[in-house]
Structure 1
Amino acid sequence: MKFSGFFCDDIRQEADGRRTFVGVYSWEGVVPKFPHIFPKICLFVEIDLRNGDDLSKAEVVIVDDDKEMARLPASDTEPIPKGKGKLVGFEVTMSPVVVTKPETMIARIEIGGVSHVLRHLRFVAKNDEDAASDDGPVEQATPARKIAKKSTAPRKQAT
Structure 2
Amino acid sequence: MSIDENLAVSRHLSVIYADDLRQEIDGKITIIGMYQSQMLVESFPVTLPKLAVFITAVTPVAQPFGKVSLQILKDDYVLQGLDLDLANEEAVGPSTIQEGVGTREFNIATIISPLQLDGPCNLRVRWHTELGIISGRPLMIKAASNGSAQ
Both proteins in one fold, TM over 0.5: yes
Cα displacement string for residues 106-148 of structure 1 (whole angstroms, at most 9, x for unaligned residues): 11111126222112111111117xxxxxxxxxxxxxxxxxxxx
Counterparts in 2 of 1:114 and 1:22: CA distance versus 1, 3 Å: same
Instruction: Pick one of 65, 78, 82 that aligns with 1:55.
Output: 65
Alignment of 1:10-21 (within 5 A): 10-21=20-31
Matched, 1:100 2:118: yes
Instruction: Pick one of 12, 18, 37 that aligns with 1:8.
Output: 18
Q: TM-score, normalised by structure 1?
A: 0.69
- DSSP 3-state at the match of 2:135: strand
Q: Which residue of 1 aligns with 2:34?
A: 24
Structure having the larger proportion of residues in strand: 2
Of all paired residues, the percent bearing the same amino acid is 23
Q: In the TM superposition, what is the alpha-carbon distance from 1:30 to its structure 2 partner?
A: 0.2
The aligned length equals 127
Amino acid at match of 2:19: D
Contact 1:6 1:118 in 2 (8 A): no
Q: Unpaired segments of 5 or more residues in structure 2?
A: 1-10, 97-103
Alignment of 1:123-138 (within 5 A): 123-127=141-145
Q: In the TM superposition, what is the alpha-carbon distance from 1:47 to its structure 2 partner?
A: 2.3
Instruction: Pick one of 69, 77, 87 that aligns with 1:67.
Output: 77
- DSSP 3-state at the match of 1:58: strand
Q: In the TM superposition, what is the alpha-carbon distance from 1:75 to its structure 2 partner?
A: 4.2
Cα displacement string for residues 88-110 of structure 1 (whole angstroms, at most 9, x for unaligned residues): 22112111001110111111111
Cα displacement string for residues 63-86 of structure 1 (whole angstroms, at most 9, x for unaligned residues): 11211111112448xx51467434
Q: In the TM superposition, what is the alpha-carbon distance from 1:52 to its structure 2 partner?
A: 4.4
Q: TM-score, normalised by structure 2?
A: 0.73
- DSSP 3-state at the match of 2:138: strand
**What is the CA–CA distance in structure 1 between the aligned matches of 2:68 and 2:59, rounded to whole Å?**
12
Instruction: Pick one of 91, 94, 98 that aligns with 2:109.
Output: 91
Amino acid at match of 2:82: L
Instruction: Pick one of 39, 53, 67 that aligns with 2:49.
Output: 39
Contact 1:59 1:72 in 2 (8 A): yes
Q: In the TM superposition, what is the alpha-carbon distance from 1:8 to its structure 2 partner?
A: 1.0
Instruction: Pick one of 98, 112, 135 that aligns with 1:117.
Output: 135
Contact 1:49 1:84 in 2 (8 A): no
**What is the CA–CA distance in structure 2 between the aligned matches of 1:21 and 1:113, rounded to whole Å?**
31
Q: Unpaired segments of 5 or more residues in structure 1?
A: 129-159
